[in-house]
Amino acid sequence: MEKPRNTLNRREFLTTALVAGGAVGVSTLGTPALVLAKSNVRIGYLPILDHLVPLVSHARDDATFKKIHIEPKLFKSWSTVAGALKAGVIDGACLLSNFAMALFDEGLAINSILIAHRHGSGITVKKDAPIYTPQDLKGRKIAVPAMVSPHTVLLDAYLRTGGVSLQDIEVKVIAPSNMVKALERDRIEAFIVAEPFCAKAEAEGAGRTLILSKEIVNHHICCTVVVKQEVLNANPEGIQEWVSSMIASGAFIERDKVQNGAKNIAQIVANYMPHSTQVVVNALLHPNDRITYGDLNPRISDYQAILDLSLRTGILHDIDLQAFVDNKFFQAIAGTAGAICS
């Protein structure tokens, strides 16, 4: 009986390499050179400006990545993107920070690797409604995009400044894309949500911005970039490429706001989200810090601030943030990122 062979001949090597999903080239010495395929990482996002950074990265840099290919996937609501993460339809997402904490606490093996933006939301009320103070919101129907969200805790923080609480209003959960219509049809009297829906309500004459989120809690975080732990472990070099690109993309957005009136960004947005150029520009520039992308450092203290507000509101219990936040990819380029964010 022929003894089993422990080595592959040249033809077997080529066949095995191709089946494994790589591509075979020829080295300078004339011998086969295996070029491994990029890993495909599917990232969920919503049609909100909170999620610009990974989209700008995709538009500008994805073709240049050596180890990774990012595949953005659009969702309409936070519940659907969470379901897709749990079902393995996507590998990561831009998620509301405390919403992501809750999924992590429930056992979903994800880590937050980067802040997606700061600020970027506002409380919008019906245009002609006599609502000018926290007290004027008492008894009103107010929409949030998810019950466990920074929007809920920011709304609570604003109400508290006027001696009002969440118990004094009727909170409704409505997907961001549906909020302006809900306001127009009198299903709600106000909402708090990410841009550009506050700017859209203004442009369509449906609502006016009562207060921007940056005026409630300055420099607050909202959405973060989360990725499944198995993906982080399988391709750390690819994730590093992506994180570096996202940080550079945040800096690009801020430059474009100042140098070009956000026109380049608005053109990029048109390829990923169904928003008019003018609405996007208004949401980015009026004022310039309505939403910012220059400081994406995933500091534990910033997550803790949102967690503390969530604990006070009663929508979350304590989370192990040290286990949830993975800042090694940011720290690997801390020198460059520090220069970008300064």
- Taking each continuous run of H as one helix and of E as one strand, the counts in the chain are 15, 14
pLDDT category at 342 given cuts 50, 70, 90 is: very low
The pTM (predicted TM-score) of the whole model is: 0.87
Peptide bond between residue 287 and the one before it cis (omega within 30 degrees of 0): yes
Domain with CATH 3.40.190.10 in the chain: 39-114+221-314, 121-215
pLDDT digits (tens, 9 = 90+) for 95-107: 999 999 999 999 9
Mean pLDDT (the chain, rounded): 90
DSSP state letter for 310: H
Statement: residue 28 has pLDDT above 80: no
Distance CA(257)–CA(264), nearest Å, equals: 9
Just give the CATH number of 121-215: 3.40.190.10
In CATH terms, the fold of domain 39-114+221-314 is D-Maltodextrin-Binding Protein; domain 2 (3.40.190)
Helices 300-313 and 97-105, packing angle to 10 deg:
80
pLDDT category at 275 given cuts 50, 70, 90 is: very high
pLDDT at residue 322 in the model: 97
What angle is formed at CA 120 by the lines to CA 117 and CA 123, rounded to 5 degrees?
155
Instruction: Count Cα neighbours of 241 within 13 Å in the Cβ-side half-sphere.
Output: 18
Instruction: Count Cα neighbours of 101 within 13 Å in the Cβ-side half-sphere.
Output: 26
pLDDT digits (tens, 9 = 90+) for 181-204: 999 999 999 999 999 999 999 999
Q: Is 259 left (phi over 0), alpha (psi -120 to 50) or beta?
A: alpha
Is-contact 204 228, C-beta < 8 A?
A: no
Statement: residue 315 has pLDDT above 90: yes
Percent of the chain surpassing pLDDT 90: 86
pLDDT at residue 334 in the model: 73
pLDDT at residue 106 in the model: 97
pLDDT digits (tens, 9 = 90+) for 210-239: 999 999 999 999 999 999 999 999 999 999
pLDDT at residue 36 in the model: 57
pLDDT digits (tens, 9 = 90+) for 49-90: 999 999 999 999 999 999 999 999 999 999 999 999 999 999
Closest CA to 143 of 220, 219, 197: 197
pLDDT category at 144 given cuts 50, 70, 90 is: very high
Is-contact 183 169, C-beta < 8 A?
A: no
pLDDT at residue 309 in the model: 98
Scored b (16 or more CB within 10 A) or e, 236-261 reads: eebbbbbbbbbbbbbbbbbebbeeee
